[in-house]
Amino acid sequence: MRWYYDFISPYAYLQSTRLQELDGARTLECVPVLFAGLLGHWGQLGPAEIAPKRKWTFRDVVWQADREDIELKLPEFHPFNPLPLLRLAIVLGNDIAAVQRIFRFVWVDGHVPQNEAAFDALLAEFGVARDQLAHADVKQALKQNGQDALGDEIFGVPSLVCDGEVFWGHQSTDMALDWLGSAGRWPADKLAAVENFAQGPGRPAPAADSHSGPPRLPYLPLDLAEPAEVVNAVRERRGGTLLELDRLLLYSTPLATGWNHMLGNVRTHFDVPQQLRELAMCVVAVVNRAEYEFSQHAPLYVKAGGTQEKVQLLRDPASACTDTRFDPVEQAAIALTIEMTRDVQVSDATFAAIQAHLSDQHLVELIATVAAYNMVSRFLVALNVLPS
C-alpha cells in the first residue's frame, strides 16, 4: 500500500498521525510527492491559492485536530516551498517515524524549511548534511514519485493506494481501513454503481496544458566549466551555482553573455524599488503561466518587503490590481504589467495611473523590467522549464 503525501498539506499531517494504524492493516510505503506538480498536471489551484477556500481549510484543520485531540501549531507562513523536506524524507529512506517527525517540524513545531536555523537543527537531529538533499539521485527519486503518482491517477494529497483503489484525504482513513479488513462494512454493491454513474456535459474542457513533463532540451551539466568566462560570470551572479534557466541559456554563448549582463543590470542596478520590480515579475509569471519564474521571484518579493498574503493575491492579477491590500502604486504597477504582458498596448489611463506615482527614471525602469521578464517567461515556457 502506497501513501502519497506532501509536507505542505495539513490534511496529510492529520493522516500521518494514523500511519501505524494503516501500516498494521497492510505494509505501508511512504511516497513523498510535490503537490504543486499534481495541481499543475490536472490544471487545479491549491486550497491555499483560493482566498475563501484557504480560510475554510485552516478553520477545518484546526477543528479536526481539536476534535481528534491531535497536536497542531500552524507554521510561520503557508504555502511554503516543501522541496527540502520532501528530499529529506527520501534521504531518510521514507521511514514512517522520520516522515512523522518531519510533519511535526511543520505542524507541531510551527516551522518551515525556509527558516534556516530551524531546518539546520532538524538536519542535525537526523545527521543529514544539506548537500545530501541536492544529490541528483534524490531529485530524480522525487520526480519519479510524481510520475508514479500520476500513473496511479493521484490528484491530491494525502492519498492511499492499495490494489488499484485510491483513497484521497484525511477523511478517507476509515474508508480505507474498512476496505482493507472490516468484514461487512464495505458497501461493495452500492459503490460498484458509481462506476456507471453518467457524466453530464458540464463546462467546456480547458485547453490542454503543456506545462508538465521534462524540459524540451536536456539541461547542461550543473558542473559545466566551459566557456569559462561566461560560465564563471553567471555563477558569480547566482552566488556560485547555475539555475536550470542558465543551463539552457548556455547552449548559446552569445545569448548567455548578453542575458547575464542585461538581466544582471535589471536585477541589481535599477533604482526603481526592488519590491515593485519583484511584484511585476510575479505578475508576468502568472499571466504567462511561467511557474518556474513565479517560484523564483515570489520569495524575493517577500524578502523585499512583500507578504505571503500578497503573493497569493498575485495569483489573480486581475483582482489584485484593485485590491486595497495593495497600495495605489502597487495596484497601478499590477495593471501596467497585465496590459503590457497580455495586450502589449497600454491604455492612456493605465499609463497615467502609474506615471502619477513614479519619476520618469523609475517608470522607464519598471517598464523595462516588465519587458525583460516577459522575455524570460517566454523562454521558460517554450522550453517547458518547471520548478524542480
Residue 180 pLDDT = 86
CATH classification code of 270-382 = 1.20.1290.10
Please state, in angstroms and rounded to a whole number, the distance separating the CA atoms of residues 279 and 297.
8
pLDDT of 301 > 80? The answer is yes
Confidence of residue 41 (pLDDT cuts 50, 70, 90): confident
pLDDT higher at 62 or 215 = 62
DSSP, res 374: H
- C-alpha to C-alpha distances, 224 to 13, 219, 227, 230, 380, nearest whole angstrom: 40, 10, 8, 11, 20
Confidence of residue 282 (pLDDT cuts 50, 70, 90): very high
Beta strand 165-168 with 2-5: parallel, antiparallel or unpaired?
A: unpaired
Please state, in angstroms and rounded to a whole number, the distance separating the CA atoms of residues 343 and 370.
13
Residue 14 pLDDT = 98
Strand runs labelled E in 62-197: 159-162, 165-168
Please state, in angstroms and rounded to a whole number, the distance separating the CA atoms of residues 368 and 361.
11
Rounded to two decimals, the pTM is 0.57
Residue 203 pLDDT = 46
pLDDT tens profile 223-271: 888 899 999 999 998 888 898 899 999 999 999 999 999 999 998 899 9
pLDDT of 348 > 50? The answer is yes
pLDDT tens profile 92-143: 999 999 999 999 999 999 999 999 999 999 999 999 999 999 999 999 999 9
Residue 242, sorted as left (phi over 0), alpha (psi -120 to 50) or beta, turns out to be beta
Domain segments of the chain as ranges:
2-181, 270-382
Residue 205 pLDDT = 39
| Same fold for the pair 2-181 and 270-382 | no
Residue 214 pLDDT = 78
Q: Please state the rounded mean pLDDT for residues 321-325.
A: 89
CATH classification code of 2-181 = 3.40.30.10
